[in-house]
Amino acid sequence: MKLTCENINVTLDDKEIVKSLTLHAADNAFVGIVGPNGCGKSTFLKTVYRVLKPKAGTVFLDDANALKMSYRQSAQKLAVVAQHNHQDFDFTVGEVVMMGRAPHKRALERDHAEDFRIVNDALDRVQMGTFKERLFASLSGGEQQRVILARALAQKTQCLILDEPTNHLDIKYQLQMLELVKSMKMTVVAAIHDLNLAMMYCDYVYIMDAGRIVGHGKPEDALTEAMIEKVYGVRVKHMTDPESGCRMLAFLPSNKTHII
């Protein structure tokens, strides 16, 4: 499924936070949005997953206007793993993941064997299968984040929005989460802070600064040393790992030449 956002403007408290933002995510592409704190990444994503109404602009899922769909219809097509999921849920892990099935059911419809199969499969994929009976509120931040991803996977959508998905995760689970998402047949739009992870996993990146897109392209083309210095005010060098051939960024102290 293609996701297209055209000329999105968002104003909060009379302040223009997102300015004429246009973004295309091709079918099954993994698209990253990077940019400094406060540049408007979450605000933009909230308009895509319909927590905020844009002042102007449109979001298309394939050729359908997502902003005109019922919430149930858009939830059948688009799932979200948002930044702050610290709800004090008085629910078990299994019950939280089962919530992902809600858009596919009628009110008060009971859970079917197929729903339980999907929930178990989603929990296994994030390696949380043995936590099914635990209370969600009793989990660590990283475990909660993996359960919220399982809930999104149980929603069985073709599009996934991730807002800083690796928040709270240690490096092993950061890599696992991104690899899992990348391996699924889904169109993904993800706000990512770690530029090296964006280099590794994104097919395409959009660079945001002060509410606007200031660059876009394949990560190795768009995340140039000059662009990173301009947007983040930090010095960086592009490197290539001699063994794996992976491109990576090494950040430099502001006025010294050695690599940290």
Ligand X SMILES: Nc1ncnc2c1ncn2[C@@H]1O[C@H](COP(=O)(O)OP(=O)(O)OP(=O)(O)O)[C@@H](O)[C@H]1O
Query: Which spans of this chain sit near ligand X (rule: CB under 6 A)?
Result: 12-13, 15, 17, 35, 37-43
Q: Which is nearer to ligand X, 53 or 106 (CB)?
A: 53
> Closer to ligand X at the Cβ: 37 or 140?
37
- Rounded to the nearest whole angstrom, what is the least distance from the CB of residue 259 to ligand X in the complex? 25
CB of 191 to ligand X, least distance (A): 6
Q: How far is the CB of 84 from ligand X (least distance, A)?
A: 10
User: With contact defined as beta carbons under 8 Å apart, do 44 and 3 qualify?
Assistant: no
CB of 38 to ligand X, least distance (A): 4
Residue 97 and residue 120: Cα distance in Å, rounded?
9
Identity of the residue, 43 or 158, whose beta carbon is nearer to ligand X in the bound complex:
43
- Region of 229 (left: φ > 0; alpha: ψ -120 to 50; beta: rest) is alpha
Closer by beta carbon to ligand X, 43 or else 145: 43
CA R_g for the chain: 19
Cβ 25 to ligand X shortest distance, Å: 18
For ligand X, the closer of residues 44 and 89 by Cβ is 44
